[in-house]
Chains A and B, each alone.
Chain A
Amino acid sequence: MNERVKKLRQRSLASRPSISAERARLLTEFYKAEEGKHSVPMMRALSFKYLCEHKTVFIGKGELIVGERGPEPLAVPTFPELTCHSPEDLEILDTRPKTSYSVSADVINTYRDEIVPFWQGRSLRDLIFPQLPRQWHDAYSAGVFTEFMEQRAPGHTVADGKIYRKGLLDLQQEIDEATSALDFAIDPGTPARREQLQAMRVAAEATMIFARRHSEKARELAAVETDQARRAELEHICEVCARVPAHAPRTFQEALQSYWLHHLGVVTELNGWDSFNPGHLDHHLEPFYTKELADGSLDRESARELLQCFWVKFNNHPAPPKVGVTAQESGTYTDFSNINLGGLKPDGTDAVNEVSYLLLEVIDEMHILQPSNNIQISRENPDRFLKAAARVIRQGYGFPSVFNADAIVEELLRQGKTVEDAREGGASGCVEAGAFGKEAYILTGYFNLVKILELALNDGFDPRTKRQLGPHSGDPREFETFDEVMTAWRAQLTHFIDIKIRGNAVFESMYAEHAPAPYLSLLIDDCIAKGRDYNAGGARYNTSYIQGVGTGTLTDSLSAIKHLVFEKQALTMDDLLNALGNDFAETEILRQMALNKIPRYGNDDDMADELMIECFDAFFNEVDGRPNGRGGAYHINMLPTTCHVYFGTVIGATPDGRRAGTPLSEGISPVQGADRKGPTAVMNSAAKMDHLKTGGTLLNVKFTPQVLAGQKGIDAMAGLVRGYFRQDAHHVQFNVVRADTLREAQNDPEGHRHLIVRVAGYSDYFCDLSRELQDEIIARTAHGEI
């Protein structure tokens, strides 16, 4: 890492995230002046243009890739049109112990005086919540599920290679062609389509204006720059930003700058989940890299430097602030832009190239939180690539995570994508499979599979909120067979999935109607061709997901009931329910039996794993294939972000011996400490789930460093990955850290500020995690620890 990158990196690491009211203020100004004069799509596009014309342009010292979402690095804008934070919310953001954002008195005053008075009752959240039925609110506050779109817009999408072949001017041309092809005579939707296309046209204009302003700013800075070398750099930035993204990029630097300006457009327009994502960056950059290396205009070191400058830009963008349940389900600064390396080309051949290896070196050197990154491993990819990545993973930053590119292709094919679109897809966010550049795959919320069991064990009554929350599914004390337990669980599942999907329909239609995203729509096929917005089904594929949480805890709890109550008859259902009600007070023997004497998920024990399969199938059958409101279908995936901690807080003690309020198992990993037969047994248990029926599963495996020492350790990690993936598994990620180190970090956070660990689909600073989550990670079984 050279001096420039060191300084940029250090500045990004040292600053504290802060809230900027600039966007909220500009947007409010615009809405006050223009409301009622334009259609909704045009209002969105024109307000986006107003932002691009007026927001601060920042070019930092030494930067080669330029542009910030806020007025400076780590200054985070807000989106009052979706959720209007109250001054109290802002104070909480400033003072809360974890993932805090500094909020100045000015920001709070601006909010109190200008933002709140205008947006209160007008923000999308304020419009949606009253429309949701009582049952939805009850289930939501009981913690049966979460809702992704109550503070952030849909998004969950990734760029494909189009933006490296076409500039915004080319896209405007496509818009004009699509507009002139509209025919009022045959399509009654024509006026709406034309309005949508015009909004996209304006949105394209807006980002070109924003780019031009960077070009001008660079020129101004160059004029007063005394250092000759820096002046030349600024002059070059001036040229680059004058060209892209209006035109297609010609060089490596133009390609990176072009992506970054598109990225800024998407994250300024709305605060969509997972920000935005360059996807297969190594595929996209390879032609520029090869061409410039050949003609001598670029060398490997300058390419590395540009990539590292690019990396810092992502780290400068903490996630927009989240509060309430949304903060609990996703308690992190990470904004989930997740860069894919390796995998397949659309023609099905090995996509690993020299840029893939260069990017692994960048990841290794930078070891910063953002962007997330992963390797896509297909049977087509060489072991050399997998092992080069394993060497980075062994460093213990939790990066990169590892995906099965062949499984992702099959998952997407099963959902009806073409094989080329599937191969051009990959993983984004935490672990979500998608057809890059062509799909809106919206995560709608986490679903608490263990809470469903708690309700089934209480005849639909929620012991925490003291409500009859679900249907009467029978008093379990009367159950004579284990099957009756499963039937009751299924009855509760059906009931609450239905409530969740009905609620989703409200969010979906309200976003389609009130929050179109014309800029994002430009970048995702076939929004232009259809003349339809991304949020209204404009993408080629429109998928909705519900994410199941608590597989391990659920499986072990059912196993405990099955084996202790019905098979061994070591206790009665009444004994068990009383013990749960008392959080195992006075019944430690019973709790120990549940912990030690039943088949548990994660040990390659079919007796436990068959219960997992049964629950998975039930969840799949309940959700998969249901139509959504955007012309697509529902599917499931199995990941938690940090929601397994929140979901644990709303559930009392569980039959697997888990105490009330403590975290659930995460992803499809076993209950923390329940796996005792090593990583291959964990992987075999997890692989019994039919991953190809999901859009993503998440498995965490923790190792102590000495297990992965030497070439043998690298070979072993590669063998584990290949062995797991041969069973059609979707994803695995590794934490390589000693529990002792983590305990030291709890006692001395200052001395361990930069310790990064894998959480669930993303990495985070250990010291930024809640104490519960820290303890949860320590409790995960470390393979190799004696």
Chain B
Amino acid sequence: MNSAVVFNIQRFSVHDGPGIRTTVFLKGCPLNCPWCHNPESRSGRPEIAIKADRCLGCELCAPACPQGIAGPVNPLTNTNRPDSTCIHCGACVDVCPSGARDLLGETMGVDRLLAEIERDRTYHEESGGGVTFSGGEPIANGNAPFLLECLQECGKRGIHRSVDTCGHVTTDTLLAVAERADLLLYDLKIMDDARHRLVVGVGNERIHNNLKILADRGHEVWIRVPLIPGLTDDVENLTAVAEFAAGLARPFPIHLLPYHAIGGDKYGRLGLTYQLGDLAPADPVLVNEQADKMRAFGLEVHIGG
């Protein structure tokens, strides 16, 4: 049986596909988007996150740590964090009484994950929801075999399946996933290849080609466009998204996802710096205008997931 590193199972998720969903977040991502809400998803390995403000200074973690590196974290400076010698064994997390330390990422097999998904079956069925695999990138970074097995098993059990992908994956794998999923949530971020490469670290040619193939093959897709002020929400970019979508073989609906800074404090817990710290949330009036402009291309445009 396959397994993968799962860092969160978000129940009652209502923005990752239709109905009430259980969203499964897998670790590891080929992109490096500065606005990412889930910085813990980038690395494929488990990580220790620390809520410094909850540290009691009780020092119970120090003797528990086999590497001798755990200890109270200074809540003001957020220092004394696990370094590269941390083996993510979770011993410090187990003994931490206040929940200041968290182990993000747990290796799970298909059976255990399915049991978790099944817990909300009644809500999935009553709301027309199901499961969404997200990340990270559920199709890349070694997650694909696990994902395919999960999709197959969910299919057998009649659970509606969505997969949230950045599209920067091999076409064959993507198509294998698409065959076993009921819906793909597919990101289009920046249409200019050079800027795409500059901002998120890879070019977009493969992403665009893959989306065209999905359209040609008749798969169900929702295109999702994160509206990040100054990075993705300019008129040229959104016009290019609309033109691209309008030119596809199928008229996929577009979901605009307005920026909000909720991921910011997660960076601190991982000892990372959030580059967009000062960015204001998207202006709702502007978002409505942007949606209207895209609708002028004959597209179905929604605001929010």
| A interface list, Cβ under 8 A from B | 588-590, 592-593, 595-597, 604, 677-681, 684, 707, 710, 712-713, 715-716, 718-720, 722-724, 726-727, 783, 786
With A680-B20, A723-B122 known as contacts, the answer to whether A589 contacts B127 (CB < 8 A) is no
Instruction: Name the distance in Å between A384's Cβ and chain B's nearest Cβ.
Output: 15
Chain B interface, >50% SS class:
loop
Q: What class of interface size applies to chain B in its complex with A? A: 20 to 34
B97 at the interface (CB under 8 A from A): yes
Question: How distant is the Cα of A718 from the Cα of B60 in the complex, in angstroms?
Answer: 45
- Asked if residues B97 and A720 are in contact (CB atoms below 8 Å), the reply is no
Q: Which residue of B lies closest to A716 (CB)?
A: B14
- Of the residues B14, B97, B123, contact of A713 by C-beta under 8 Å: B14
**A and B contact pairs by CB, cutoff 8 A, 21 listed:** A589-B58, A589-B60, A590-B97, A592-B98, A596-B99, A678-B11, A678-B12, A681-B119, A710-B304, A712-B15, A716-B12, A719-B19, A719-B128, A720-B127, A722-B122, A722-B127, A723-B124, A723-B125, A723-B126, A726-B122, A727-B122
| Residues in A neighbouring B58, C-beta threshold 8 A | 589
With A604-B119, A680-B120, A680-B123 known as contacts, the answer to whether A783 contacts B99 (CB < 8 A) is no
Q: Which residue of A lies closest to B305 (CB)?
A: A712
Q: Which residue of A lies closest to B14 (CB)?
A: A716
- Please, what's the 1-or-0 string for B111-139, where 1 marks a CB less than 8 Å from any CB in chain A? 00000000110111111110000000000
Q: Which residue of B lies closest to A720 (CB)?
A: B123
With A592-B56, A681-B11, A712-B14 known as contacts, the answer to whether A723 contacts B20 (CB < 8 A) is yes
- Please, what's the 1-or-0 string for B43-62, where 1 marks a CB less than 8 Å from any CB in chain A? 00000000000001010100
- Asked if residues B97 and A593 are in contact (CB atoms below 8 Å), the reply is yes
Q: Which residue of A lies closest to B9 (CB)?
A: A677
Q: Which residue of A lies closest to B58 (CB)?
A: A589
Work out how many contacts link A and B, with CB atoms closer than 8 A. Answer: 78
Q: Which residue of B lies closest to A707 (CB)?
A: B14
- Asked if residues A715 and B127 are in contact (CB atoms below 8 Å), the reply is yes
Q: Which of A593, A713, A719 has the most C-beta atoms of chain B within 10 angstroms of its own C-beta?
A: A719
B280 at the interface (CB under 8 A from A): no
Instruction: Name the distance in Å between A602's Cβ and chain B's nearest Cβ.
Output: 13
| Residues in A neighbouring B119, C-beta threshold 8 A | 604, 680-681, 684
Q: Which 4 A-B pairs have the closest CB atoms?
A: A719-B127, A723-B123, A722-B126, A596-B99
- Asked if residues A592 and B304 are in contact (CB atoms below 8 Å), the reply is no
Instruction: Name the distance in Å between A703's Cβ and chain B's nearest Cβ.
Output: 10
Q: Which of B123, B127, B128 has the most C-beta atoms of chain A within 10 angstroms of its own C-beta?
A: B123
Q: Which residue of B lies closest to A590 (CB)?
A: B97
Question: How distant is the Cα of A706 from the Cα of B226 in the complex, in angstroms?
Answer: 19
| Residues in B neighbouring A710, C-beta threshold 8 A | 304
B194 at the interface (CB under 8 A from A): no
B249 at the interface (CB under 8 A from A): no
B53-99 interface with A by 8 A CB criterion:
56, 58, 60, 97-99
Question: How distant is the Cα of A684 from the Cα of B119 in the complex, in angstroms?
Answer: 8
- Asked if residues B122 and A592 are in contact (CB atoms below 8 Å), the reply is no
With A596-B97, A677-B11 known as contacts, the answer to whether A723 contacts B127 (CB < 8 A) is yes
| Residues in A neighbouring B240, C-beta threshold 8 A | none
| Residues in B neighbouring A712, C-beta threshold 8 A | 14-15, 304
- Asked if residues B20 and A589 are in contact (CB atoms below 8 Å), the reply is no
- Asked if residues A719 and B126 are in contact (CB atoms below 8 Å), the reply is yes
Question: How distant is the Cα of A137 from the Cα of B262 in the complex, in angstroms?
Answer: 54
- Asked if residues B11 and A597 are in contact (CB atoms below 8 Å), the reply is no
Question: How distant is the Cα of A475 from the Cα of B207 in the complex, in angstroms?
Answer: 69
- Asked if residues A716 and B56 are in contact (CB atoms below 8 Å), the reply is no
Further pairs besides A680-B123, A716-B127, A722-B126: 15, Cβ < 8 Å: A589-B60, A592-B56, A592-B98, A595-B98, A597-B99, A680-B11, A680-B20, A680-B119, A715-B128, A716-B20, A719-B19, A719-B127, A722-B122, A723-B124, A723-B127
Instruction: Name the distance in Å between A386's Cβ and chain B's nearest Cβ.
Output: 10
| Residues in B neighbouring A604, C-beta threshold 8 A | 119
Question: How distant is the Cα of A719 from the Cα of B11 in the complex, in angstroms?
Answer: 13
- Asked if residues B126 and A589 are in contact (CB atoms below 8 Å), the reply is no
